[in-house]
């Protein structure tokens, strides 16, 4: 009984007087059990301990104080910014359903690079056949989506491209690092590496991410032209 009371008093002392006493790597386990029958002369301290018993385990005192832990998960993450919406994308790219694979541009440096997203949903028309029991986005469509982001970079007045004369000319060093499944958001960055306007050839580097991990990467060759 005495040891239990001493443990409780140390917890309360830590909270009120020494918030930084424990290193960040120390785990503080707050018991959830209501079977502790401790005797307190001060009822306020007993109430405080009972309030602690409703919390789960935190790996540091700082984590226990983190206000984000009290924020509902649906409110913790901000939406991707919108630099170009789907209507602006349609004004640049000639692709249409079911082959327009870019939903939003979230970063754009004219004539240099673009970052865009593709929201992968179970309603995408390729999932019924790839595969019925395990919906995985085909690798060739990941490459096509990245090429379309490259098109958003190249089909701009400052670059000199034309939507009527722009082709995906080749790919090299393509690697698929992880499967992309329904429910994922594919974040694609395409960067212009070399442009030869005389020959209408552009070389681009692309990477596609899911949750911050590389899902696909490679080098792209684009054939450009003007009207």
Residue 173, strand partner residues: none
Catalytic residue (one of 17, 52, 95, 130):
130
Give just the sign of the alpha carbon dihedral 159, 165, 166, 167.
negative
User: Could you say which DSSP state residue 70 is in?
Assistant: G
Q: How many CB atoms sit inside 10 A of residue 52's CB? A: 17
Question: Catalytic annotation on 95?
Answer: no
Tell me the C-alpha distance between 102 and 90, whole Å.
9
Tell me the C-alpha distance between 187 and 86, whole Å.
15
| Radius of gyration of the chain measured on its C-alpha atoms | 28
Residue 188, strand partner residues: 116, 208
Residue in the structure block whose two tokens are 């707050």: 30
The two tokens of residue 131 are: 């595969």
Tell me the C-alpha distance between 111 and 190, whole Å.
11
What is the set of active-site residues? 130
């Amino acid at each position: 009984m005495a040891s239990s009371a001493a443990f409780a008093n140390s917890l309360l002392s830590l909270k009120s007087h020494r918030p930084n006493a424990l290193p960040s790597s120390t785990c503080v386990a707050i018991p959830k059990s209501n079977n502790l029958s401790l005797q307190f002369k001060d009822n306020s301290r007993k109430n405080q301990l009972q309030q602690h018993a409703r919390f789960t385990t935190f790996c540091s005192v700082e984590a226990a104080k983190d206000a984000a832990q009290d924020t509902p998960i649906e409110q913790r993450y901000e939406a991707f910014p919108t630099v170009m919406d789907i209507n602006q994308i349609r004004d640049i790219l000639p692709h249409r359903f079911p082959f327009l694979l870019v939903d939003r541009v979230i970063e754009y440096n004219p004539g240099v690079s673009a970052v865009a997203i593709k929201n992968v949903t179970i309603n995408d028309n390729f999932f019924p056949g790839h595969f019925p029991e395990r919906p995985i986005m085909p690798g060739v469509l990941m490459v096509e989506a990245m090429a379309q982001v490259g098109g958003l970079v190249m089909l701009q007045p400052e670059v000199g491209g034309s939507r009527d004369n722009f082709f995906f000319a080749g790919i090299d060093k393509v690697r698929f690092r992880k499967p992309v499944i329904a429910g994922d958001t594919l974040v694609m960055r395409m960067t212009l590496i070399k442009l030869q306007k005389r020959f209408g050839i552009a070389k681009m580097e692309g990477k596609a991410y899911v949750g911050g991990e590389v899902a696909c990467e490679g080098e792209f060759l684009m054939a450009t032209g003007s009207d």
